[in-house]
Structure 1
């Protein structure tokens, strides 16, 4: 668990550095998805602290170290990441003054810590169904998938972040509910509900495979490729052709001339500016605004 937690810290710091160095926009990220992971790590911290506290005859320092690392991941990294996402998604609040920002930020903190306390109460009350609660929390990628569908965004997370977080969180679940000789064997610590369970572990693995496969396919095929067209929100058509491109026009991103021979490679923004489709896609991975007039752009 120490190793897995250090890998998770490394993954989150690498992802945050990616946004700083690559200038990738954090508005593509789901705050709910990051909040779910922060809650999971907070519960893990409490779990390892409770495991370490009552048993004095065993060497429980390792559990205490895991609890400290999990608390650092939750309180110092994931909360900071969550606030970074909130700040970029609510930039209009800063124009209304600090008092409006303070009130909105207080509401966000109240919601998060209310969910944290409420979750602890739910886990205590529904302790006999802890296996199903843990399986439900493995759906932490689902908010990001839905966010990408709603907003038409992709390339939200790096492949390294997706696969490392999925692997580390899955290994912990598989140990707790798949290992027949774990610490929750009924001698010192009580049995976990339903453990060991091959069916539950298989369900968790299939859930992770489905989520990761969808996220990877969204990067390659588009964020809404699996959504029936009747359920799709209104999407602006960037490939509309009003007229042939004027002579001498150029793509201000790559500074190459746009010619009529480009055909389907030309896209037109709502503000009537034209670019090569590959150029605009790369640009929109960084900023959702027109390179020419800085007008906000809808998802492609």
Structure 2
């Protein structure tokens, strides 16, 4: 019957108030759009210990799971087991103070698959979508580079390091995506190599444009200054917005190393209906650039 697939949303930890004993609740939403039942394996970790759960998600069904916890979970390792999901495991860490709820109901609650669609007025273009493309630079290559033998088989997704000089696909749990969470990355260059997202806007108006920051918050690159101090290296990425038939906007530069693993706003732009594109170049003061997803949200 095939292999199951899972779309996951809104993993959170809440403290349950109004109880005699301190208690918490883990909540998340999951949708299995495939024709095959599947299981999720979760390992919950807290300062008081660890435990596991195995959850059934039937084919074509969507649920919100609410799992009680006596201790405050600080990390969750979720595995999709035999599935179409890439990567097959996601590690969640909870560093911030949890929200609160008085609702003690726990279990599996049916929800609509519509909960997994973009919000009204939003358009998302991922690097796995047809509206995304990359362009290598047109620089000349040395003969020895052209003659160098390439591996017979190149994996579909590779590790981020070592950074490669051409656009390469990687898959990490910090990437955006439903079933496949991936991004394209390459070594810094002169600005001639680009990644471009294109979409059709249904109406003119002000749109907030955001980019997904596929950043592993547990990993970073450091440099040593002239004074001998070790500092975190920045990674300014340059984005240009352009509507079809119009001049491009001024580039927007965002230091992705200073932002969280989340949507990062480029600002609001007044755009006409029709095709619009966002282009990222490989120019950066960091050692690489990474291209994942773009979101257009109609403001007015």
Tell me which interval the TM-score lies in, with the shorter structure as reference length.
under 0.3
**TM-score, length-scaled by structure 2:** 0.22
Rg larger in 1 or in 2? 1
Structure with more relative contact order (C-alpha pairs < 8 Å, separation 6 or more): 1
Higher helix share goes to which structure?
A: 1
Higher strand share goes to which structure?
A: 2
